[in-house]
Chain A
């Protein structure tokens, strides 16, 4: 028997690590991975609350979050490849001008 708040604290820690990664990292791909980490933290919250309130719609929502994350990764990585082709760098600090 684990208190629900433990699951929520773990979810919060993962989300905080995701936000920290988004703020401090300078490589586009790593920033994207921090977004995935945030989504995973939220998924854990959903499943924990679903278990607590005995509502399976929590687990269904995790399903939809995963599908949306998959679609977003595919398009985001394609955009990253297109940006790399023109700018030749993956460092966000160097991709700061609208004109090449």
Chain B
């Protein structure tokens, strides 16, 4: 493939991926409001469009027309840059996430991801580490005590749970022997006895899946780990002083992080785009993996929202003690046991 074709195909993939991701973010918000509403025995949005489906559009218009306030003694450059930093890093990690097999469109053979790097998992972890800056800088530049406390707490929480997140993934890496996300999914192809799929969660990474789940809830600042942005605790934490479009950027960054985490969980633990037997004409066969991928992500996001509606939140010292004193030793134990089993089997 010549370099011109390569750049053109990449630009098309980037535009499609960004479009799909931003729409998914908007409709994840809708899904959350509906599901949490039903858990709390009320309807959720119903007025704007059928089943409230146009509610994200109305929210977007509201955010655009709201007044954009900057507090008087805030440090302006960082105040304006922090939501942009958060959103940039939240949207960048989609670039190494594969959603299907290689397809051939108009004679161009291309994988269904923006790039295929052989350290894909490390890149996603690196971008997650950089996402802490958006939160920390927002909290500090707002020049307000609630924001500073919320920002410090949120960034300390994110940094602490990053370690357990990374360690829980090393078990998967040992089983797949590669950092490339595509190779990890390909190692989960096939089934046992014809109907139990060879997903990593069934191959012994059950505990690792739960460690990943809990670390992911803490990384994305969701209930039960959302003390840094809970209304009853810190007004709104690090995004107290933000309004209109800047707040919308933080909001979008949080949901984009949720979707990235759901994609990673699907790829690493739930078998990626492998589903039951393929059927149908070739055009359907090319789209079917994407469909299975979307179903698994939807299930993971539903679990996220379900937990949000059900559990109370942790106090900050309980949260940090849980991360350092329970999850981290458990993740290390999981790693040691997986390594022992793989070494003894070989």
Direct contact of A and B (CB under 8 A): no
Q: Report A's interface with B, CB cutoff 8 A.
A: none
